[in-house]
């Protein structure tokens, strides 16, 4: 009887070890602080799905939401966070291979952004023109490198990176122009522009609501 019990215990232990949920190294990598920085807090007020739990390694295969992740190597597979994952040679976003990404240097920046030594990605797509070595997150979807400014992965035309600053509530500015959610506010005066809250802002001459003059 003791032999039978030991054998059953061993079988159950081995079976449990063959299935694992690939977890993000940081269990709270999409917590409230992250959501506030990316989406001005609105996302934190909603219940949201943790995509880190969508990956599963089982029987030498990798799955994402029930579908096999083609080309993934189970033995070296790990979740990076926010839908990103990698093995020793490839990088994935929500189960799809990211073409051109270098696994060995691939790191998560947050808010959908990630990079390797030479390229920057937003939600799994390579960002044209972004310089990885100087790329930084400003918050609320805004990012920049030494020469360009971006909003949610798209380059903002006419924005000056060296003087670009986040004001908050979707607003940002450089030395000469003001922006709301990545779009320039025509006629706004950057030197006197201030955010009032609840979508409102003003300069010395006009008042604005969600980027529009009122």
Per-residue pLDDT of 72-106, as tens digits, reads 999 999 999 999 999 999 999 999 999 999 999 99
At residue 66, the pLDDT reads 97
At residue 53, the pLDDT reads 82
* pTM of the model as a whole: 0.80
Domain boundaries, the chain: 2-122
How do residues 147-166 score in pLDDT, each as one tens digit? 999 999 999 999 999 999 99
Beta strand spans in 84-199 (E) = 84-86, 91-93, 96-97, 107-110, 113-115, 120-122, 125-126, 136-139, 142-144, 149-151, 154-155, 165-168, 171-173, 178-180, 183-184, 194-197
At residue 40, the pLDDT reads 59
Over residues 143-150, mean pLDDT: 98
- Give, for 35, the enclosing helix (H) or strand (E): helix 32-39
Mean pLDDT of the chain: 85
Give the integer Cα–Cα distance in Å for 171 and 199.
Answer: 9
């Amino acid at each position: 009887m003791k032999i039978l019990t030991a054998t059953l215990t061993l079988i159950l232990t081995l079976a449990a070890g063959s299935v694992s949920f690939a977890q993000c190294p940081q269990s709270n990598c999409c917590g409230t602080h992250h959501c506030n920085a990316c989406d001005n807090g609105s996302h934190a007020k909603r219940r949201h799905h943790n995509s880190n739990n969508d990956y599963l390694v089982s029987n030498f295969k990798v799955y994402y939401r029930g579908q096999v992740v083609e080309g993934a190597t189970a033995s070296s597979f790990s979740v990076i966070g926010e839908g990103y994952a990698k093995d020793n040679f490839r990088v994935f976003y929500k189960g799809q291979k990211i073409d051109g990404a270098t696994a060995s240097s691939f790191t998560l920046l947050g808010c959908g952004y990630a990079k390797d030594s030479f390229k920057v990605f937003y939600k799994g797509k390579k960002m044209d023109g972004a310089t990885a070595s100087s790329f930084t997150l400003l918050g609320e979807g805004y990012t920049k490198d030494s020469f360009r400014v971006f909003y949610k992965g798209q380059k903002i035309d006419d924005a000056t990176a060296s003087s670009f600053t986040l004001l908050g509530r979707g607003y940002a500015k450089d030395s000469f122009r003001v922006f709301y959610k990545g779009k320039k506010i025509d006629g706004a005066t950057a030197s006197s522009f201030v955010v009032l809250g609840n979508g409102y802002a003003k300069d010395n001459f006009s008042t604005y609501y969600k980027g529009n003059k009122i």
